[in-house]
Structure 1
C-alpha cells in the first residue's frame, strides 16, 4: 500500500459517515433483518450508499439511527412514525452541536 494513501485510510476509520458496512453485517449489528433496513430506507430515515456493484453500504451514523428506529418499533411505534421521530431528534442534535460551536467561537 502506498504511504500517501495510508492517512486517508486512517481517516475513514474515524469517519462516522463512511459507508463501511454491508447490508448483512449492518442488520446483524443492530439485530434486525435486511428487510427492516430497507424499510427504514424507504421511510426516508437513512439512504445507504451504493457500492460499485450496487450493494447497499451503511455508516455507523446510519446504523445508530436504524437501531433507534428498531427500539421504537419494538415498543409498538409504527415504522413511519419512528423514522419521523428519529429524523427530528437527529436534526435537533445537529442544531445543538452547531449552536455550541458558534457559542465557543463567539466567546474566544
Structure 2
C-alpha cells in the first residue's frame, strides 16, 4: 500500500467525528458554515483526511475558547492566508 499524505480522504463521517471528539451533526454544521469541506465519493459520501481532522480539532478548540462560528470562519481564513504567504516565501527562497 502506498504512503498517504495528510490530504488523502480516508475516514467516513462516523470515524472523523470520533477522532475529532464531536457529534456527526457538528461536522455537518461546520460544513454548512464553510468551516470544512470534506471530499465526496461518487455516491456523495463524505470522506475526511488527516488534514480535515486537524482542522476539525482547530474548530473545536476555537469554539471551546468561546469563539462563535462566524469568528471561527474568519480565524481559519486568516490562518489559511498566512500559511499561503509562508509557503510562497519559502518557495521564493529556494
TM-score tier, shorter chain, comes to 0.7 to 0.9
Of residues 7, 27, 33, the one that matches 1:37 is 27
Of residues 70, 74, 77, the one that matches 1:80 is 70
- 1:98 has 2:94 as partner: no
Q: Deviations over 1:6-39 (max 9, x none)?
A: xxx514x2x2211111111111001011111112
Using the alignment, how far apart are the partners of 1:61 and 1:95 within structure 2? 19
- 1:65 has 2:55 as partner: yes
1:25 aligns with 15
Q: CA RMSD in A?
A: 1.5
Report the structure, 1 or 2, having the larger helix content: 1
TM-score, normalised by the number of residues in structure 1: 0.77
- Unmatched 5+ stretches in structure 1: 1-8
Using the alignment, how far apart are the partners of 2:88 and 2:2 within structure 1? 25
Instruction: Kindly state the Cα deviation for residue 80 of structure 1 after the two structures are TM-superposed.
Output: 2.2
Instruction: Kindly state the Cα deviation for residue 82 of structure 1 after the two structures are TM-superposed.
Output: 0.9
- 1:10 has 2:2 as partner: yes
Count of residues in correspondence between the two structures: 94
Instruction: Kindly state the Cα deviation for residue 99 of structure 1 after the two structures are TM-superposed.
Output: 1.0
1:4 aligns with none
Using the alignment, how far apart are the partners of 2:54 and 2:77 within structure 1? 12
TM-score, normalised by the number of residues in structure 2: 0.87
Q: Which has the higher contact order (CA 8 A, sep 6+)?
A: 2
Q: Could you say which structure has the larger radius of gyration? A: 1
